[in-house]
Structure 1
Amino acid sequence: MAGHSKWANIQHRKGRQDAKRGKIWTRVIREIIVAARDGGGDASANPRLRMAIDKAKAANMPADTIKRNVDKATGNLDGVNYEEIRYEGYGIGGVAVIVDTMTDNRVRTVAEVRHAFSKAGGNLGTDGSVAFQFKHCGQFVFAPGTSEDAVMEAALEAGAEDVITGEDGAVEVICEPGDFEAVQKALEAAGLTAELAEVTMRPENTIALEGEDAERMQKLLDVLEDLDDVQEIYHNAEI
């Protein structure tokens, strides 16, 4: 089960996210609100809310802030009504880009996303124009040197679809979104801690960018990241 390494790209992405950590609370709060609104405020019965709360705790968000936003979403407090909108487009060199947003004003959001693409040399596409190039799945990535056998044993027994070893030794686990929690618990029970664990849109194929093209693509991602309404960005570039 060999495969191309995602390690460098993941480390690059995490570094960029750490530099923008001030936005994380805003994004997590929106995720909590939408998850609680759509699936109820009981985290034990709402997997999406559990994942949002886990993100909030990882970002050191106080428990009362988490509770206040759950209450806001479930009608116990007045709050803003966010809707989820996905945009698809192309970046530099034909790179496919998916932008997930949460907004209280879709007219503002689409204008900002379109401007970000055009400003950085990309193009906003239509619904479905690039989504077929991605797989909606749970993803765990372990640092190079992690035992592939240990990961494989725990992951596959818990229902994972595949275990892929990258060229530099990083180990990646792929599962169905609905199996994410079961696989995560099994990996943790086996003493295995993933550097990255999320439900994501994983590109089926990647496009390598270097030099000026890589810089232009990173600029597009940075401009999109800076938009208040953007929650997640998925792309198939290797920068």
Structure 2
Amino acid sequence: MGRGPSIAARKGAEDARRGKLFTKFIREITVAARTGGGDPKTNPRLRLVLDKALAANMSKDTIERAIKRGSGAADDASFEEIRYEGYGPGGVAIMVDCMTDNPTRTVADVRHAFTKHGGNMGTSGAVSYLFSHVGQIFLDAADGLEDKVMEIALDAGADDVLSEAGFIEVITTPEALEGVKQALIDAQLLLVQADVMMRPATMVNPGEHAEQVQKIIDMLEDLDDVQKVYSNADLEHA
């Protein structure tokens, strides 16, 4: 019988993943503070990423340093926000949000991820019309919970509440996300995830191309300059 990875190897891989995640959080915190100020009480974008960073056990010292960099209290490279768009095999639309201090490097890395597995980068706007900019909250579904979530969320300004595959999904405008999120928390409901994202209008089943599409997404998400990857690929039913 073959032996699996050692504890040390598994820990090393987990540390590497955590390091990449923290790098993305630091960049997001820095840019959020730069664009909206360093006070999370008046900067919803900063407050949202701080919640995620703290949930991932990022230290408060690291968070404070990132806020200071973004607020101009410390020297730091200037990160630029760039979105790339393209298609994967099977007609799947993919959008890639990046933060980079070297756009030339980043576009080359993103293009390589697309082309290596049968995809193609497009021009700005090539696929973004297929997505909507929304706030999205997920809760674990339970008997009778959907009605309670719907009442609270809609009263707080949510646009829609959906239930599928063991989860309750609450859709809001980006501006209403924080208020709806807080109303659900105040009602002692446990949130699985809350974020502002690009939500596809419809899903596409890539069929026999599912593995290639997954490889493109995985390769993109592994790039240091990539913050988020959005796709309309229905990989669960491929």
TM-score with structure 1 length normalisation? 0.88
Query: Could you list the runs of 5+ residues in structure 2 that have no partner in the other structure?
Result: 1-13
> Counterparts of 2:137 and 2:32 in 1: how far apart (Å)?
22
SS in 2 for 1:45: coil
Number of aligned residue pairs: 221
- Stretch of structure 1 that moved more, 180-189 or 191-200: 191-200
Give the aligned partner of residue 162 of structure 1. Answer: 160
> Counterparts of 2:70 and 2:209 in 1: how far apart (Å)?
42
Q: 1:131 to 1:186 in 2, by over 3 A?
A: same
Q: 1:129 to 1:208 in 2, by over 3 A?
A: same
Percent identity of the aligned residues? Answer: 55
Q: 1:18 to 1:237 in 2, by over 3 A?
A: farther
> Counterparts of 2:138 and 2:39 in 1: how far apart (Å)?
29
Give the CA deviation at 1:196.
Answer: 2.2
CA deviation vs aligned residue, 1:55-111 (integer Å, no higher than 9, x gap): 211111111111111111222111110000000100121111000000001111111
Give the CA deviation at 1:165.
Answer: 2.1
- Stretch of structure 1 that moved more, 64-73 or 177-186: 64-73
Give the CA deviation at 1:140.
Answer: 1.2
Give the aligned partner of residue 26 of structure 1. Answer: 23
Give the aligned partner of residue 49 of structure 2. Answer: 52
Give the aligned partner of residue 222 of structure 1. Answer: 218
TM-score with structure 2 length normalisation? 0.88
Q: Highest CA radius of gyration, 1 or 2?
A: 2
Query: Could you list the runs of 5+ residues in structure 1 that have no partner in the other structure?
Result: 1-16
SS in 2 for 1:77: coil
Do structure 1's residue 97 and structure 2's residue 91 form an aligned pair?
no
Residue 140 of structure 2 contacts residue 168 of structure 2 at CA under 8 Å; is this kept in 1?
Answer: yes
Partner amino acid, structure 2, of 1:158: A
Partner amino acid, structure 2, of 1:228: D
**Which runs of at least 4 in structure 1 moved beyond 3 Å after TM superposition?**
17-22
Give the CA deviation at 1:169.
Answer: 4.8
